[in-house]
């Protein structure tokens, strides 16, 4: 808690009276949303006390404060992953800082592999539930009562009202979005064909290496969450192929304008 308060105090000193209403986490290849911002402050993670630093080349590592659709937001351009060697507490540290800064809702995006045969590359999948296959989670250990309860309920993890709003926004804009269950795995290697089959059998529609730890921390603190995956490759038996980061970034770039529109309109109407 001391580290959280130190980081929050530093950010408030730098940003002055800018009080963000919403937090946004941008996933792999999805950083272009910041082009829609009227930027007020930009803080490299390395300058914020106690903050981890992004080690993935496609994650910029900047905390940006600004206005999106006329609302005050704080945006993580680049996130942290367990596979980078960080503890779960470090992975979710920025989300907890966002809460202490006063955000009321959290929006999360990620790049994911598709498991549902009805999906296609560059589809958007609104996350309606998740399966946590990470080896740990950020609530293990002594509970920080200042943040939330020892045993938080996870039966309504993803905000149903925002999910319905997103479906309407997509329909009005003339594009289709999928809905589904996101499985979070440690990574950083992609899945084997047998692992893809396993994940599909247990009920996952998409698989990735992030999001769930941040969502657990957010719900622990009572933050409503909206999350969306961009399907960047397919893990169904007939469509598995070798994938490199460039392929993932290319698929994400195709979907990114639709994702940006979705989050922008959700923020506008929040």
Q: What is the pLDDT of residue 270?
A: 85
Range in 47-51, 52-56, 57-61, 151-155 with the lowest mean pLDDT: 57-61
- 143 pLDDT band (50/70/90 cuts)? very high
DSSP state of 50: T
Give the model confidence (pLDDT) of 5-29 as tens digits: 999 999 999 999 899 999 999 987 7
Q: How many CA atoms lie within 13 A of 176 on its CB side?
A: 7
Which residues are CB-neighbours of 104 under 8 A, at least 6 positions away? 21, 22, 223, 224, 270
Question: Could you tell me which CATH class the domain 2-269 is placed in?
Answer: alpha beta
Give the model confidence (pLDDT) of 93-131 as tens digits: 999 999 999 999 999 999 999 999 999 999 999 999 999
Give the model confidence (pLDDT) of 165-196 as tens digits: 999 999 999 999 999 999 999 999 999 999 99
- 56 pLDDT band (50/70/90 cuts)? low
pLDDT at residue 58 greater than cutoff 60: no
User: What pTM, to 2 d.p., does this model score?
Assistant: 0.95
Which residues are CB-neighbours of 47 under 8 A, at least 6 positions away? none
pLDDT at residue 231 greater than cutoff 60: yes
Q: What is the pLDDT of residue 227?
A: 98
CA distance 156 to 170: 22
Average pLDDT, the chain: 94
């Amino acid at each position: 808690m001391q580290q959280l308060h130190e980081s929050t105090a530093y950010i408030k000193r730098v940003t002055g009276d800018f009080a963000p209403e919403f937090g946004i986490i941008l996933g792999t290849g999805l950083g272009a949303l910041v082009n829609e911002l009227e930027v007020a402050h930009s803080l490299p993670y390395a300058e914020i006390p106690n903050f981890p630093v992004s080690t993935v080349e496609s994650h910029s590592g900047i905390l940006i404060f600004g206005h999106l659709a006329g609302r005050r937001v704080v945006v993580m351009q680049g996130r942290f992953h367990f596979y980078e060697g960080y503890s779960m507490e470090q992975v979710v540290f920025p989300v907890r800082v966002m809460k202490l800064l006063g955000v009321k809702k959290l929006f999360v995006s990620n790049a994911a592999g598709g498991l549902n045969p009805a999906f296609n590359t560059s589809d958007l999948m609104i996350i309606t539930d998740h399966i946590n296959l990470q080896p740990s989670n950020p609530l293990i250990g002594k509970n920080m009562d200042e943040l939330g309860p020892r045993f938080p309920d996870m039966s309504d993890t993803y905000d149903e009202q925002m999910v319905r709003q997103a479906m309407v926004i997509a329909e009005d804009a003339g594009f289709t979005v999928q809905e589904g269950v996101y499985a979070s795995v440690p990574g950083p290697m992609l899945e084997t064909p047998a692992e893809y089959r396993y994940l599909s059998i247990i009920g996952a529609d998409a698989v990735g290496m992030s999001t769930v730890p941040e969502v657990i921390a957010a719900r622990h603190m009572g933050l409503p969450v909206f999350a969306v995956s961009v399907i960047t490759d397919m893990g169904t038996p007939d469509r598995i192929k070798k994938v490199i980061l460039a392929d993932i970034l290319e698929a994400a770039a195709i979907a990114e304008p639709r994702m940006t529109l979705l989050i922008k309109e959700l923020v506008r109407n929040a």
